[in-house]
Structure 1
């Protein structure tokens, strides 16, 4: 059993309003604070139309609740469908498998540029639905690029340093469905999404009205409820490694229902922004100098490496290598 306690909280995370930051430098300062403390924040004034968000949520609901099994062929952990209990995100305390199903959709512009066809089941490939999915990916990409520019400045780098390493090769929109489940008599080994950190650079998470997301904050599992008009943004493992541990990739989970509202089907949509395959992930700028000269910082970074399942002493790794290591650890196979 986890030794962490639980604290419900309606203001679990800082709120960053893009409209309040008229210069990239101002945004960088806000991001620096959020990403070196919680590693999570609410983002307001993001510019993604609420109507589009609701339309894509509707597509997701229809897919998971009405599409037949022929539309849900098993994917590879990076694209396509994952079934209920196929995934166990918590590598420390694995249970019965996560009580959720999902669909990974790639940035179709990248596939077109490379002359590759992304297989999409007929239900999602229907023209109007496909256009909505692509538009949603585009909008999330625009927001992610703004954040990456601020993060680069926060690390003392050129403004486009991080943004230009993300062309959409491994951008993934993950539609998620947590099936309805009684909040009474829950098996202690069951969880909707086990405690984990994300693989990539940053994640943009859209939640519907049903709560359940928690993050570790000061050693306490803390609720991160849906906040109207906000997207939840968090740092992923690739950027934690890339920043020499300066930015935090924080463990989070989705708990089983605790009341009648949470017992309903829960839907969320996560946009994972990953670095391109050939991007060299090496601690950036002053981070590398610090790791070379400060034993405490170096030891802390080695602990980060150990938690991510990387070989001791790792300092150079490509985005593609890192992603493959993490997918293999989660699904037990290479994609």
Structure 2
């Protein structure tokens, strides 16, 4: 990544760390450097399995990128927002509802959050096949670096983690890797995302929630840790707890597709984004992500041959005959998110039905 020949771009300065006494989730730290040996992978698989059963989120360290390379990624991540005029953003906006794809921009005020308030979030999404769409002028010199970043996340982070997920279910190591081909037809993608501060009126109407509690729809979500303390997970005891920032760490969770494929053993993790603590208000929250999904043609049915599932039982979200493909699931979830009228189902829980499967949201 960083070298003398790379394009010169402004350096992004993140918000300072909060000094507020927040309640943080006590997450497991997975040291990916151990994954080079089978013995190391066996130990990591046990750690990952326990982390998934306890919290559904974990950190990854020693993934292979330096702090300087990390900072370069965040410099690049800010370009779609700070260096692209609003009119050009509109020209590259995705037709999300019609296509079921986030590729391109999701502009602000597209998702309904609550109380008649819409989001103040922009994101720019780039398929790992960076040639699928044209990109804004300011991003074009940086596309080779973004492609390298996508490939790194897919092959050097995702695939090693998928081997651990498989070992945790006593399946052959390549079970999940084999359905996450880098060159296969699919939608795993890089997302650069920026949350902007909101008015006090909007905060009041939404009870300070910026993005209501939800699950991701893919297999594994990779968030490059950043300092604005807004991300919370719903802990097993019913409390929302913050995720603490660790320099150059990854924050990883499972989504719906992993829930389907693992027969409910690795549950999709419920998380939300709220207003930052007082000493970080006024700052934007810039994120760099890699959202992963199986190949589009994969039918989302459990790997019932897992000895673990045979012991603990399978929890299906639908009958196997009715299970969607990954393509159908991602398109259905993407088209509906923030656009449909959700039905209240108990205190703080709303529901919708996608491809015949109930999807819950927490507000």
Q: TM-score, normalised by structure 2?
A: 0.76
CA distance in 2 between counterparts of 1:222 and 1:183 reads 23
Which residue number in structure 1 is paired with residue 26 of structure 2? Answer: 12
C-alpha displacement at 1:13, in angstroms? 1.4
Shift of 1:153: 1.5
CA gap of 1:321–1:258, structure 2 versus 1, over 3 A, is: same
Question: Between Structure 1 and Structure 2, how many residues are aligned?
Answer: 305
Cα separation, 1, equivalents of 2:205 and 2:323: 40
What residue ranges of structure 1 are gaps of 5+ in the alignment?
Answer: 1-6, 112-116, 306-310
Distance 1:312 1:151, change over 3 A: closer
- State the 1:123 CA deviation: 1.8
Match status 1:277 vs 2:296? yes
Q: Which residue of 2 is the match for residue 247 of structure 1?
A: 266
Map 1:159-238 onto structure 2 (within 5 A).
159-168=173-182, 169-181=186-198, 186-189=203-206, 191-217=209-235, 218-238=237-257
Aligned-pair distance for 1:262?
Answer: 3.6
SS of residue paired to 2:42? helix
Q: Secondary structure at the match of 1:135?
A: helix
Which residue of structure 1 lines up, in the alignment, with residue 332 of structure 2? 325
Q: 1:185 to 1:79 in 2, by over 3 A?
A: closer
**By how many angstroms is 1:68 displaced?**
0.2
Deviations 1:214-235 (A, max 9, x none): 0001211000021113100001
Partner of 2:122: 101
Alignment of 1:35-74 (within 5 A): 35-73=52-90, 74=93
1:120 to 116, 132, 135: 135
Check conservation: 1:237, 1:249, Cα contact below 8 A: yes
**CA shift in 2, pair 1:137/1:201, >3 Å:** same
CA shift for structure 1 position 261: 1.4
Rounded Cα–Cα distance in structure 2 between residues aligned with 1:184 and 1:8? 24
**Aligned in 2, Cα 1:60/1:19: closer, same or farther, shift over 3 Å?**
closer
Is this contact kept in 1: 2:25–2:241, CA < 8 A? no
Residues 20 and 57 of structure 1: CA distance in aligned 2, closer, same or farther (over 3 Å):
same
- The separation in 1 between residues aligned to 2:129 and 2:228, in whole angstroms, is 29
Measured after TM superposition, the shift of residue 20 of structure 1 is 4.3
Give the secondary structure class of the aligned counterpart of 2:204. coil
**Is the contact between residue 229 and residue 277 of structure 2 (CA under 8 Å) also seen in structure 1?**
no
The answer to whether the Cα contact below 8 Å between 2:221 and 2:290 also exists between their aligned partners in 1 is yes
Indicate the residue corresponding to 1:152 in structure 2.
166
Shift of 1:69: 1.4
Q: Where does 1:132-147 land on structure 2 (aligned, <5 Å)?
A: 132-141=145-154, 142-147=156-161
- CA deviation vs aligned residue, 1:12-49 (integer Å, no higher than 9, x gap): 31111123454322221111111222111011111123
**Cα offset, 1:257, TM superposition:** 2.9
Change (3 A) 1:12 1:99: farther
Distance 1:265 1:163, change over 3 A: same
User: Is the Cα–Cα contact under 8 Å of residues 98 and 191 in structure 1 kept in the other structure?
Assistant: no
Using the alignment, how far apart are the partners of 1:287 and 1:156 within structure 2? 6
Q: How far apart, in 1, do the equivalents of 2:44 and 2:168 lie?
A: 9
Counterpart in the other structure of 2:109: 85
**RMSD in angstroms over aligned alpha carbons?**
2.8
Structure 1: how far apart are the matches of 2:66 and 2:199? Answer: 33
Distance change >3 Å, CA 277–CA 82, structure 1 → 2: same
1:249 deviates by 1.0
Report the CA distance shift for 1:206/1:289 in structure 2 as closer, same or farther (over 3 A). closer
SS of the residue 2:120 aligns to: coil
Measured after TM superposition, the shift of residue 312 of structure 1 is 6.7
